Structure 1
């Protein structure tokens, strides 16, 4: 296989798995590890990957991956996370569902829940929950972010301040190794920070790719989260932080 054909495949694997390893790629493409190292170096030089020990990850940055691509990333994992999170939400609860493709997976798993009140700043979530006839849907106003149908900004935060939710389902773009929850849009972060104050229990839904990414704006910390729903065991530092702060973790299958 020529180099020009390997590069798109390597990038697709990185998008799906969050990280690529030299030895795994060499075996997959039936080439030498030296060849794969050259591929990863060239992709890193082009700004498409970031080299780490033994492999590469998607690059850190100050802009998020486009929405349609995020929807395709780790779809099976997000479905499993959504199912596990929804199972922890009882009927007749008040719930806030945040912006994000994983929170949208939670919404799809709530279609059989009875008598929910769902407040959301995610138009995709609102449209999904229309199929649940017993669900009261409140859309938090704000500035429409056309890229993903999210509502953001101070108006959204002010709407949230009128509620006290039983559960807030929060997503993020990255989790730093010190336990900080990170995102890219300061207007969205304002919403997340308000949620942390206006919810009895906060559930974080995040697939394993968030453990390896970076983003510039801080939402809060794992110490603010009651329960993390993810698809893989947390890396050592994050697992230690959760244990220190009594944050429960469910690894969805």
Structure 2
């Protein structure tokens, strides 16, 4: 595909900011919304950008989209998924929540649960749940990632292995047709794997955007988990695999 001068600049803006919106690009270039939508569609078809509602983001590769950008993407869908997941977590239990914007949404939905112990390597999750009077919050410790509030490294791994929790709720950056959960940071993946190993039941929370992405590091298979909470029905092949594996799939209404 030969890019127009406008499309080249759109890519430069997307790489700089992590995402672009139709409205802002139309104002920037002084063209119609339809023209920008056509540009973004062509760039999406060429694999240069991933189309999202109202705009586009840089395509998946070996580097994830910036954390603040991910937090704003599909926020309503994440809230609905989190609400559905929270209904599967009873009072009077222990829960592990890992790094991610989807798990932060779950934390918000657990605020009114009673007598929870929540272990997390996510400072943002701890900050949310500190407002819950009947929730004990335990931070794992570890090396702090300033961009996402995540704690990683040997101290984190050691802390995770000290627990055997009732439920683990994890997120991922991508989910492929084989049912593999994928991510970008190998240290973060190692912590997620340890969390799954130390939980009696493990849940995945992920919106439909993750079906369209790819990432280089494998966390686990959906076959290793107990339930998957999402906002769109799974593609046929993946839905069939989940049935074969006995993985419960819960889709928001």
Normalised-by-shorter TM-score class = 0.7 to 0.9
Preserved contact between residue 166 and residue 199 of structure 1 (Cα < 8 Å): yes
Q: Deviations over 1:101-131 (max 9, x none)?
A: 0100000000100000000000000000011
Find the aligned partners of 1:154 and 1:165 in 2 and give their Cα distance: 20
TM-score between both structures, scaled by the size of structure 2: 0.82
Q: Report 1:1-253 matches (<5 A).
A: 11-12=20-21, 29-30=33-34, 36=38, 40-41=41-42, 48-49=48-49, 59-253=59-253
TM-score between both structures, scaled by the size of structure 1: 0.82
Q: Deviations over 1:208-233 (max 9, x none)?
A: 00001000001000001100000010
Q: Deviations over 1:36-78 (max 9, x none)?
A: 3x65445777x74169xxxx98523011100110010001100
Secondary structure at 1:172 match in 2? coil
Give the ranges of 4+ consecutive aligned residues of structure 1 lying more than 6 Å apart after TM superposition: none
Do the aligned partners of residues 234 and 135 (structure 1) sit closer, same or farther apart at CA in structure 2, a change above 3 Å counting? same
Q: Which has the higher mean CA deviation after the structures are superposed, 115-124 or 149-158? A: 149-158
Find the aligned partners of 2:42 and 2:189 in 1 and give their Cα distance: 34
Q: Unaligned 5+ residue runs, structure 2?
A: 23-31
Q: How many residues align?
A: 229
Q: Deviations over 1:117-155 (max 9, x none)?
A: 000000000000011011001001111111100001222
* Counterpart residue number, 1:17: none
Find the aligned partners of 2:105 and 2:78 in 1 and give their Cα distance: 6
Cα RMSD after superposing both structures = 2.8
Q: Unaligned 5+ residue runs, structure 1?
A: 14-27
* Counterpart residue number, 1:22: none
1:4 deviates by: 5.1
